[in-house]
Structure 1
């Protein structure tokens, strides 16, 4: 009897198991999406207990291993007990647009998209939008029900599972403190799962964008955010010291700096419907593919400014770096004269400018010289909506063309919403925006083209404050184009030749090349009038003609942390620019005829007798096999000549 009972029990159990397997399989059908070229794929899957996962492949090779999806509200759980209720048809969409500030003026990409709706145990619905394109994949959470009461997200378990021992370039996310978080730390070369090391300040996670070399070094991946519209905090990655799963972390309640923010948990909150930011996974066969990707702006909302003709990228002189304690009208006017003599469109009046303007009318002086003034402001002055609108109207009436707003130091949702207000209200007064002490851009320069640049970068002011900066700067300069600058325009404030507290080790040519390596809608040049005037004529002419944005960019050498060489074109101007991030000389060879079509000669700017302060300028006939020894921590600039 006992054997018969066991046999009958098994006979009942096996069909039940089979039905369960069939049910799981049926639930997972149609949950994948491929790019139009069939190379990149994102696939969702429901596992035991209704837990949701995804993975990403390229050419059928794993890029992101099975990683968790889902989030929890205060009174609703979307991390387990999920079932599929609807899968949309696949749609094809094309994103073609122009950027005011870009590596390549025109972006034109085709994406496949679909949406999958899930139901949880309580019967509530969650939709996940999927996107797949030639440059990578992305997903976002969406809640389409209409509910007037606020919903609060207490946790998001979204993870990015990176293969063991994959190398990455990650920036520590600094804990709230004096001037942090501000995305002003070193990018650290680590392996997936390594603990946080080498941070400038106490840190609680890793920043996005985060760069990894995966698939046995065959592919590069950049993890980032896009489409943050003020209904969600800026997010970072939580540290992981075991298996390489990097989970989403929210801004913290103490990220307040001096802003009037409530003392409460900084969880995301909104009424429904609610569309959350894109989680973006850019994929490239080469690191240069990441550098040139526009996927973050592809996924951002289209421009909300109809007439953008008043938004003109340009260059600016800036007195603070060389004279940080001098706020006299005479000093501001001196740098206005520098802008005028070099044909720079702008001049930046930093902190202290208002007193100088009352004493010396520095704004009127700049306008009389044909130079458009940009002025510094403190974030607290621009946080309140009505005060912000009034201030922008006042500045516009004075003749100001743009604002540099400093010391945000927070990723909280209230700050992200305030930044959207800054862009919109500034646009109404035809004012350009430059953010400092701030979070990273998240595709905003497409939506609001008057947002032309931002700090959120460990730039040249670090020669005042960071003892490790001189040794690490060259390496960092070859990492940032693949990370921070992919997120959006970066105000690095290049060309700082004068020695400050911590002596520069990069060559002068390296520093000059930085102005053409980074992309920034306004290039704020950091040095004194004396340095500008001491330059040889060839360099003065280069500074006069140098664009602040580009029509076309190609990478020639793209090796993060080591070497970067770019071909840059704007109108009838054509250059090749390169820098060395290492302490060893780097031999390179370039077919100049390939990049210099239509030109007969080329001018090379390289290191002079004193590499730290001097330049050498030489002109040659165009050649197909140009060989050059890139100096340790050095650089070069090639100008093609008709």
Structure 2
């Protein structure tokens, strides 16, 4: 449906209540936005939900570098346009088979008096929130310009409870802290944990997506959408006035962005609801991105995979092939005559074992890390030429693995660790993707561990954001799916390029082997990180005591087995890993059955109950079937979950297999205690289940034909 200019004003409430102020309402009327020019011609907005003020008057604009006048004030309204849009579209993969994109729009054209420059602020108001961005049309007095800082404000109405991680230019791999806004400064240092690359900018700086809850039980989420050719936005809090302001990631020179008109900023987003489930269900971030640009998407296929990874993360195996060399140079190091270290995981015979396991249990793919030369000194050396992405170690036979996997009906998943040498990766990208096509690797897991090279750049600056986008678009040319780790957090670009089938970009399961994560971590991530796109969280760990894999690692996975099963539903990803070792799945074959059965692509999703940091229960309908899967993850307090199965089709009967925490289960003291029961259910059925601390439950609901 084409966008239509509104003639009948009652379709969208827009009224000129002063010469410099206008209003916009959401399609259902619950949200209302007010725009105005305040003192000195500064643009500002307010947001209301059900007549309650949610965002107080907040300024808009950009500060420029070495410019006689920034784009902050001295504006008049030159024009305003109102539109409405209502359309459904079908994602290539997703949590639902159709998405409704329904919003009302107000575009304010601002003209700066002194410079005669034009800046448009475009607002889109959905039933679930507000998106707005800056637009700079082609014009005589604004061509090339450099951002010193974007000064977008989000003025809160009080000292809300927030679920936050420290603002950082290089890392999102933090546990979430729950606190009042006024407490962030005092808790900031405690919220920091070590990482391979990190840089904070303020003791009150936090990252988006930022989830908050007010004392009046309103849920507010601040984020961004369509991060293209721009720096990632953090937020800096004035903890006296409770006003957040955008804080962009700088480049090596300290500048925040280089723009050329015509251009736009990413969308700044505010989700608001009195139901936490509405935040989880919101497609607003996706809707603010462009439609799919890949004409033929038939090659983009969700996958469930296993891999040689967890044994390396825990220290049971190594990425490197030999201990002979203190340093290596590709093309010069004599690997053929080196002594194998005996701990290398990516050997031909060992990988065949994983292929056999995948084939036996119906998994689509096998990921192998550490297969290629260069791992002996890959990290922390400011080394530009680290890997060439095509040269295997002597004990990894690419051709033999290819033929063996093909004979078993299993696809191999490539691994490209760049060591954050992004220039080197771009130089080798075509060759690496051609190598993948030759050996039939449909997907690549890329990594960006360590400080970015060129030196001084950050993981989330404009230049590096553009690199990630370049890699995804280049992969699309080769019909390759991308799962990027340590890259910029997703902002819905997977709608435009659905070959971006997964990202890490948050604290994933690997940190359970690096000292552990909070047991309620997975009850926060769907409210924050997952709003912009799926996460390769790598769930499915059954052996929680890491010392049983590596006696030198005393870490503990802070979850129960039932919780790990539930993650396949609550932590949405079309590229989903069963991360544990095959021998641990063989110990618990009845629990492993759920991982084998659960889908990776969905026709429908029902967000049954949710409270950030406490619990989440989601039901999803498997693509092309009448079967449902339910997942519940629980926080630190034992809880009874009561749910209705009214989402099931009336008149149908189903067999429910319930994988639940045992009565004495606990994430720390008894994580492997679970029970499995079956019962017949219909849409009238109700279930009452107990979730242990750090626990949960998973249910497969299969139609009885």
TM-score between the two structures when normalised by the length of structure 2: 0.81
Q: Give me the whole-angstrom Cα distance separating, in 2, the residues matched to 1:385 and 1:150.
A: 26
1:447 aligned counterpart, secondary structure? coil
Q: Report how far residue 411 of structure 1 moved.
A: 0.5
Q: Report how far residue 333 of structure 1 moved.
A: 1.9
Partner of 1:256: none
Q: Report how far residue 576 of structure 1 moved.
A: 2.0
Which of 520, 527, 543 is equivalent to 1:482? 527
Q: Give me the whole-angstrom Cα distance separating, in 2, the residues matched to 1:239 and 1:357.
A: 51
1:289 aligns with 2:308: no
Partner of 2:376: none
2:474 aligned counterpart, secondary structure? helix
Partner of 1:605: 659
**Residue ranges of structure 2 left out of the alignment (5+ in a row):** 1-15, 319-344, 373-391, 450-457, 547-553
Partner of 1:413: 462
1:174 aligned counterpart, secondary structure? coil
The 8 Å contact of residues 240 and 246 in structure 1, kept in 2 or not, is answered as yes
Partner of 1:388: 429
Partner of 1:514: 567
Q: Report how far residue 361 of structure 1 moved.
A: 3.1
Partner of 1:60: 51
Which of 662, 680, 690 is equivalent to 1:621? 680
The 8 Å contact of residues 574 and 596 in structure 1, kept in 2 or not, is answered as no
2:35 aligned counterpart, secondary structure? strand
Describe the shift of the 1:636–1:390 C-alpha distance in structure 2 as closer, same or farther (beyond 3 A).
same
1:27 aligned counterpart, secondary structure? coil
Q: Give me the whole-angstrom Cα distance separating, in 2, the residues matched to 1:385 and 1:360.
A: 25
Which of 355, 360, 371 is equivalent to 1:341? 360
Q: Give me the whole-angstrom Cα distance separating, in 2, the residues matched to 1:382 and 1:99.
A: 30
Q: Give me the whole-angstrom Cα distance separating, in 2, the residues matched to 1:341 and 1:52.
A: 62
The 8 Å contact of residues 433 and 452 in structure 1, kept in 2 or not, is answered as yes
The 8 Å contact of residues 163 and 192 in structure 1, kept in 2 or not, is answered as no
Which of 25, 31, 36 is equivalent to 1:45? 36
Partner of 2:144: 150
Which of 395, 400, 405 is equivalent to 2:441? 400
Q: Give me the whole-angstrom Cα distance separating, in 2, the residues matched to 1:588 and 1:493.
A: 25
Q: Deviations over 1:176-209 (max 9, x none)?
A: xxxxx23110121122243235222563321111
Within 5 Å, which residues of 2 pair with 1:243-262? 243-253=241-251
Partner of 1:630: 691
Partner of 1:78: 71
1:218 aligned counterpart, secondary structure? coil
Q: Give me the whole-angstrom Cα distance separating, in 2, the residues matched to 1:133 and 1:415.
A: 31
The 8 Å contact of residues 41 and 76 in structure 2, kept in 1 or not, is answered as yes
Which of 11, 15, 19 is equivalent to 1:27? 19
Q: Deviations over 1:184-239 (max 9, x none)?
A: 1012112224323522256332111111113x33321111111222x211111124
Partner of 1:99: 91
Partner of 1:258: none
Higher deviation after alignment, 33-42 or 97-106 = 97-106
Q: Give me the whole-angstrom Cα distance separating, in 2, the residues matched to 1:235 and 1:406.
A: 21
Partner of 1:21: none
The 8 Å contact of residues 101 and 520 in structure 1, kept in 2 or not, is answered as no
2:526 aligned counterpart, secondary structure? helix
Partner of 1:125: 118
Q: Give me the whole-angstrom Cα distance separating, in 1, the residues matched to 2:54 and 2:403.
A: 56
Which of 128, 133, 140 is equivalent to 1:140? 133
1:439 aligns with 2:484: no
Q: Report how far residue 52 of structure 1 moved.
A: 1.8
2:656 aligned counterpart, secondary structure? strand
The 8 Å contact of residues 100 and 521 in structure 1, kept in 2 or not, is answered as no
1:182 aligns with 2:171: yes
TM-score between the two structures when normalised by the length of structure 1: 0.88
Q: Deviations over 1:312-348 (max 9, x none)?
A: 1120002211244222222222212221111111111
Q: Report how far residue 596 of structure 1 moved.
A: 6.5
> Aligned pair count?
595
Partner of 2:235: 237
Partner of 1:378: 417
Q: Report how far residue 109 of structure 1 moved.
A: 2.4
Q: CA RMSD in A?
A: 2.2
Partner of 1:320: 309
